[in-house]
Amino acid sequence: MRMNPYLDVAPEVSQALAEGRPVVALESTIISHGMPYPQNVETALHVEQIIREGGAVPATIAIIGGRLKAGLTKEEIDYLGRTGSGIPKASRRDLPVLVAKGMDGACTVTTTMMIAAMAGISVFATGGIGGVHRGAETTMDISADLEELAHTPVMVICAGAKSILDLGLTLEYLETHGVTVIGYGTKELPAFYTRRSGFGVDYELDTPQELAKAFHVKRELGMEGGMLVTNPIPEEYSMDPAVINKAIDEAVAEAKAKGIHGKETTPFLLAKIKDLTGGDSLDSNIQLVYNNAKLAAKTAAELCKLAKA
């Protein structure tokens, strides 16, 4: 394990990495800020189980008492879920102060990628990434997740992005920063709750082997940065676009009227959408995370084979 005085890699995770076995990273903002208690904890634990059933070792990532943790105990996951928004949301800019002060932090896609990379983990499964917000041409609200994808060598498997964001501008930003965006079995960017967004992606790949090969080649080419795999929500759990888009429009309008900004924007919108759809969106959200975890476990296993070859 690389020497990093602030990093704690769980024994099970560090053993798997040392033996070249598959590991999948998971984020903790989705636990503390993305879903209500107790569904957040149930989901987080079940995702870990799915990854195990897929033959990989889960490493949920968070900052606890100033330690960067790759791999959490059940008790730590429960603590992050119960405390909810009492755990500071930690993006790249938050990391130094949270660690210096010995505080806790719920890791976003950004900090999960950072800590996964420090630990030597290559594949990360989540629900949705942050991106360019609607109205960013005046607010300049662009998630640090996009910048991290450009620089940190972790494959992120998600269900696309919610249309709380400007999906067209999000794809433009990723293109400018050299991030390869892959549709898993699709040529269209999935819109999280729905399988289609109307925006095309760069490449369609159809198997975990193909995903692993693309990432492996990227690394062998010495290219920095991650890769974004967008995996559509399974049909049976996808939402009616008219229903979800109406809820999203209302949530965005309310956030604007209330002057919600900065790191509060995304959690506010997620909670509002859940209220407006009477919990249907939460069920979809949970199912798409499970779907991404399955694909991530398979892809991590394929990547391990390539690394040994």
Give 147 or 202: the residue with its C-beta nearer to ligand PSU. Answer: 147
94 binds ligand PSU (CB under 6 A): no
128 binds ligand PSU (CB under 6 A): yes
Number of residues that bind ligand PSU (CB under 6 A): 19
Strands (DSSP E) contained in 19-95 are 23-26, 57-64, 67-70, 89-90
288 binds ligand PSU (CB under 6 A): no
Q: How far is 191 from 238, CA to CA, in rounded Å?
A: 10
263 binds ligand PSU (CB under 6 A): yes
Which of 141, 166, 280, 302 contacts Mn ion by CB under 5 A?
A: 141
How crowded is residue 237: how many other Cβ atoms within 10 Å of its Cβ? 17
Smallest distance, Mn ion to C-beta of residue 206, A: 33
78 binds ligand PSU (CB under 6 A): no
Smallest distance, ligand PSU to C-beta of residue 308, A: 31
Applying CB under 6 A, the span of 61-69, 121-129, 178-186, 193-201 interacting with ligand PSU comes to 121-129
* Given 69, 162, 272, 274, the catalytic residue: 162
> In the range 101-120, which residues lie near ligand PSU by CB under 6 A?
108-109
Smallest distance, ligand PSU to C-beta of residue 270, A: 6
Distances (CA, A) of 244 to 36, 69, 117, 283, 296: 19, 35, 35, 13, 26
Give 108 or 238: the residue with its C-beta nearer to Mn ion. Answer: 108
> In the range 22-61, which residues lie near ligand PSU by CB under 6 A?
27, 29-30, 34
Token output for 6: 């602030």
Smallest distance, ligand PSU to C-beta of residue 255, A: 12
Phi and psi torsions of 149, nearest 5°: -60, -30
CB under 8 Å to 94, separation ≥6 — which residues?
Answer: 88, 105, 111
Write each residue from 187 to 206 as x if it is in contact with ligand PSU (CB under 6 A), else as -, in one continuous string.
-----x--------------
Residue 27 annotated as catalytic: yes
Chain-centroid distance, C-alpha 241: 22
Phi and psi torsions of 34, nearest 5°: -100, -20
Residue 162 annotated as catalytic: yes
Residue 240 DSSP code? P
Applying CB under 5 A, the span of 6-14, 116-124, 136-144, 283-291 interacting with Mn ion comes to 136-144
The H or E element that residue 175 is part of is helix 167-176
145 binds ligand PSU (CB under 6 A): yes
Residue 122: name its binding partner from Mn ion, ligand PSU, none (Cβ under 5 to 8 Å by kind): none
Residue 74 DSSP code? H
Pick from 13, 30, 45, 104: nearest CA to 300:
13
Inter-residue contact 157 to 126 (CB < 8 Å): yes
How crowded is residue 224: how many other Cβ atoms within 10 Å of its Cβ? 11
Q: How far is 30 from 269, CA to CA, in rounded Å?
A: 13
Smallest distance, ligand PSU to C-beta of residue 101, A: 21
Pick from 10, 22, 1, 12: nearest CA to 306:
22
Contacts with Mn ion, residue ranges (CB under 5 A): 141
Cite the active site residues. Answer: 27, 162
Contacts with ligand PSU, residue ranges (CB under 6 A): 27, 29-30, 34, 91, 108-109, 127-130, 143-145, 162, 192, 263, 266, 270
